[in-house]
Amino acid sequence: MTDDLTLAFHGAARTVTGSCMEFCRDGKRLLVDCGLFQGSRTLEALNRSAFPFDAEEVDAVILTHAHIDHSGLLPRLVAEGFTGEIWCTAPTADLLEFMLADAGRIQESDATRRNRRKDRADQPEILPIYTEQDAVAAWRQARSVDLETWFEPVPGFRARLWNAGHILGSASVELDVGGTHVLCSGDLGPEHKAFQRDPEGPSGFDHVICESTYGDRKRDHLAIGERRSLLEAEIKEALARGGNLIIPVFALERTQELLLDIAALIDANRIPSTPVFVDSPLANRATSVFAKYAGSLEDMEGENVFGHAAFHFVDDVAESIRLNSLSGAIIMAASGMCEGGRIRHHLKHNLFRRESTLLFVGFQAEGSLGRIILDGAERVRISGEDIVVRAQIRHIDTYSAHADQDDLLAWMEARRPLGGSLFLSHGEATAIETLRRITQARELSASIIVPEMGEVFRLPVGTPAARIKTGDPELQQAVGRDWQNSYADFAAGLKRELAEIQDARIRQQALDDMRAILESYKKVRDKRAARRH
């Protein structure tokens, strides 16, 4: 039927960033999320690609939460002509004011920094994807709505938000469009997460779209006291080495959870009263929003927990640079996957030090700098410089804001019965395939679909979804590690490997051989170009 609801996946399909789903019916278009792609340079390049829809024809957006991989392309959407409303919870709207403005500043500063690099002197100028002004304009289109309250973002589209338990203000999106009943999970939180209630929602849908970030792994469901004991051990070991403890953090939620636990450990004399520097203006502003909603958050042990005497919130760039002279401090800086922000500055000054510790406390997407370090890289390339990795690399998974495999399965079970299809999105290939096999074995739905970017489906009432457009192979090729990741790995170790060749003539021959290989590819490319013309 031509009036069936359709669903297109424009991001977060077989990858974990760039969340964007487009629902269409009777000429009306609703987006659920419009997020930034993060990871490899190839994946990030999608942020500059043309939208697969006309921004002016989008009627409204429902935003599940404020994380940039879900909200970060809203400013570009607005800059290209979107004039509708961006519906979300009140905490999300408050956070969005800071998140989007910060993202705009980062886009501008990153473009400036990359244009100044000597190795780009002969390259075209890079323009920011959007500006801080675009970001502020997008935030002004945000409209808040209470949880569990029906509203109509677009004529003919009824919607309701449910607590997703992921971060402050996060929500799942329920849609009722022309009789088709759909639920988009958004990012789901784990059971008994700090600050947030467990995810909630109704049952009985035609179609459900569920995230799969941790679909291939289970975590120990630790009580808050057990989680603090793990953090205590990591902090004590790091400080015993005499160097700094560097923690890449997501400015939103992860920073505040760590501050909550560190304050409790210091007050209980379980760790020394070590100075803790939160080197992220965005995290500092987000913390003020958490303080505003402190009365509605769980696990708060006093209204002024974020004002602890050991905590130092760093905004000024010069003050951030002065942290280079410290040793024996705890430094928390964004971004959580080391893809931008001040954390890269601290990595450059600490990764090569044996006494330093780098502690990961969140998910590291494939192709991100954080994932490369966590996977054991001996050298990494940061802002054009090769950095030796000598610091102690540690990882604890107890602070994840994402539901693990058991949590995801329990959430999907609670949504039954499903009359149509179950879509598994927002996950890397291994995670999704593992979750797909389990959901199929449990018969959670007669139709389980793993969508690709660019695919479009018809969503009828009570029967499985039907694919009406296949995915874009070029989009899918952007997922995961790319040639620039491989190049960075190769380049970081090349000089050392050449130096280890004792015979100068053999060393030069190795260089000549590598150059000859590149020249051979250039000749093939030139021949192909000549044939086309």
- DSSP-derived secondary structure for 292-338: HTGGG-TT--STTGGG-TTEEEE--HHHHHHGGG--S-EEEES-TTS
3-state SS assignment for residue 208: strand
Question: Where do the DSSP E strands lie in 168-318?
Answer: 171-177, 180-184, 205-211, 245-248, 276-279, 311-314
pLDDT in tens, 284-302: 899 999 989 988 888 876 5
For residue 195, give every residue at least 6 positions away whose Cβ sits within 8 Å of its Cβ, in sequence order, or none.
Answer: 168, 253, 256, 257, 260, 290, 297, 298, 299, 300
Per-residue pLDDT tens digits of the chain, which is 533 residues long: 458 999 999 999 999 999 999 999 999 999 999 999 988 788 888 999 999 999 999 999 999 999 999 999 999 999 999 999 999 999 999 999 999 999 999 899 888 888 888 777 888 898 999 999 999 999 999 999 999 999 999 999 999 999 999 999 999 999 999 999 999 999 999 988 889 999 999 999 999 999 999 999 998 888 889 999 999 999 999 999 999 999 999 888 889 999 999 999 999 999 999 999 999 999 989 999 998 998 888 887 655 688 899 999 999 999 999 999 899 999 999 888 998 889 999 999 999 999 999 999 988 888 889 999 999 999 999 987 899 999 999 999 888 889 999 999 999 999 999 999 999 999 999 999 999 999 999 999 999 999 999 999 999 999 999 999 998 877 766 675 556 556 656 666 677 788 888 888 888 888 888 888 888 887 777 777 676 66
Give the pLDDT score at 72.
97
CB atoms within 10 A of CB 49: 11
- The secondary element (H helix, E strand) that includes residue 526 is helix 504-532
Cα 163 from Cα 151, distance rounded (Å): 16
Read off the DSSP letter of residue 214.
Answer: B
Cα 74 from Cα 78, distance rounded (Å): 6
Give the pLDDT score at 157.
98
Cα 360 from Cα 192, distance rounded (Å): 21
Round the CA-based radius of gyration of the chain to a whole number and report it: 24
310 alpha carbon, distance to own chain's centre: 29
Region of 5 please: left (phi>0), alpha (psi -120 to 50) or beta. beta
Q: Are 90 and 147 in contact (CB under 8 A)?
A: no
3-state SS assignment for residue 469: strand
pLDDT in tens, 221-244: 888 899 999 999 999 999 999 999
pLDDT in tens, 421-476: 999 999 999 999 999 999 999 999 999 999 999 999 999 999 999 999 998 877 76
Cα 465 from Cα 421, distance rounded (Å): 6
Q: Which of 225, 293, 286, 275 is nearest to 250 (CA)?
A: 286
Cα 336 from Cα 315, distance rounded (Å): 18
Question: Where do the DSSP E strands lie in 321-426?
Answer: 330-333, 357-360, 379-382, 385-388, 392-395, 418-425
Q: Are 169 and 152 in contact (CB under 8 A)?
A: no
Place of tokens 């244009």: 115
What structural domains does the chain harbor? 5-218+401-477 (3.60.15.10), 241-395 (3.40.50.10890)
Q: What are phi and psi of 14, to 5 degrees?
A: 65, 20
Q: Which of 380, 421, 427, 381 is nearest to 408 (CA)?
A: 427
Read off the DSSP letter of residue 194.
Answer: S
Q: How big, in percent rounded to 5, are the helix, strand and coil portions of the chain? A: 40, 20, 40
Q: Which amino acid is at 175?
A: L
Distance of CA 226 to CAs 91, 115, 229, 268, 374, Å?
Answer: 29, 47, 5, 14, 24
Determine if the peptide bond prior to 52 is cis (ω within 30°): no
3-state SS assignment for residue 278: strand
